[in-house]
Copies of this chain bind each other. A is one copy, B any other.
Amino acid sequence: MKNQSTPIINQYIGLVETDPFENSMEEIENLAQLIVGDLDLNVVKKLSRLFYPNGVSLIYVLSESHLAIHTWPELGIIHIDLVICTPRTQAEFEKALKSAVTNYTTHSVTVKAVNFDKVSDS
């Protein structure tokens, strides 16, 4: 049985492979907002960096931990990292991510989950 004094830490990591896309912060902010909205998360701070010639890093501190997105536009790669201490499932994350990238010509969406079971079991 789960010890109620231990934190829930869910981490989901997505990799989206697409056609090459524009190096646009606005597009990635839109993607992040769609994920945050779909999963009903709360953004408390934002941080972004546009790299030259290519690439965006966009990070939201959430009241539930963080969402970080990194892109390699010329290669068509989007990396999404979500750490949350609320009970969202991998399926919910994957659904939100797939829904958020419908504007891209997507080749694949791969999602992995990281769990430290000892935290829940200790």
Contacts and interface: CB of A to CB of B under 8 A. Distances in A.
Q: How many copies does the complex hold?
A: 2
Interface in A33-57: 44-45, 47, 49, 51, 57
| Chain A facing B: main interface SS | strand
Interface residues of A, number: 36
A108 interface: yes
Interface stretch (A22-30, A58-66, A89-97): A58-66
A20 to B, nearest CB: 11
A66 B57 contact: yes
A48 B52 CA distance: 25
Contacts of A9: 15, 70, 77, 79
Nearest to A111: B116
Interface of A: 5-7, 9, 11, 13, 15, 17, 44-45, 47, 49, 51, 57, 59, 61, 63, 65-66, 68, 70, 72, 75, 77, 79, 81, 83, 85, 108, 110, 112, 114, 116, 118-119, 122
